[in-house]
Amino acid sequence: RRAGRTPTARPPLPPRSPRRRLRAAFEASERASPFAFAFVVVVVVAVRASSRAPDKGTYRTQHPPSPRSTVAMAKATTCKDAIKALEAEKGVVAAEQEKVLLFAKVPPIEKMDGSLSTLKACAHLSLSTNNIEKISALSGLDNLKILSLGKNLIKKIENLDGVAATLEELWISYNNIEKLTNIDKLTNLRVLYMSNNKVADFKELEKLSSLANLSELLLVGNPVYTASEDAQSLGSEYRIEVLKRVPQLVKLDGVPVDVDEKEKAKEMLAEEAAA
């Protein structure tokens, strides 16, 4: 710079919306590996929490809290309020949208309520990264094909009768599910993402055998997976045990099912039946 001249400070650039910047990454990671999903969840929550000014009574701390840690600080967000906020932000009518994203609310959603039944055109509903403990209030969603409930506090697969005829994909990773009771009602299910739950018994997977359209299953992080040696390798004991019970699978834990694996699973079943 020339001597005697004082540099002029540039005005700061306007802040970019964390929601807009991270939405695409969140949706993509939710369908990808559980590790990518968990990473993006943490980033979303941290950016949203840290971007709020402390003088507005929000949750800024030295270490930005997750939605679950704010539950004692503020009243939970209702589905009705989340839908209204979506309409105000996007300038849309929620009842007319095919894709409705209500994930990672701060404060988090704790209960699925009757306001969800107003989403008549919804084909993809995301309620992931909240504090939901029970699946409910899905009657009336006559076009629902994808239901995303990952990163909640759900213990049971229940109350899906209202969407059983249409639901094709259930994303329910990072919950507390031990049993697959009622999953057989989802006769058109093609994709089941349920990594990082608490399924510990291979016998639970037998409840998936009647789902003729089920082609993709994600079980990474469940006890049946973590207790197995080299579970991800083709032909591993874990993969064979799963295929013995769910032979219609095309992809398991993100890895295409090999023809040899299917044959080995079939042979083992025949040997067990003959014994």
| Buried-state track 243-271, b at ≥16 Cβ within 10 A, e below 16 | bbbbebbeebbeeebeeebbebbeeeeee
| pLDDT for 74 | 82
Low-confidence ranges of the chain (pLDDT < 70): 1-73
Q: Are 200 and 224 in contact (CB under 8 A)?
A: yes
* Calpha distance 159→180 (Å, rounded): 13
For residue 107, whether the previous peptide bond is cis, meaning omega lies within 30 degrees of 0, is yes
- Dig out the tokens for 111 from the structure: 């209960």
| pLDDT for 77 | 98
Q: Per-residue pLDDT tens for 63-87?
A: 444 555 544 568 999 999 999 999 9
| pLDDT for 275 | 81
* Calpha distance 95→86 (Å, rounded): 11
- Residue count of the chain: 275
Q: Per-residue pLDDT tens for 181-195?
A: 999 999 999 999 999
- Dig out the tokens for 223 from the structure: 């006890």
| pLDDT for 13 | 54
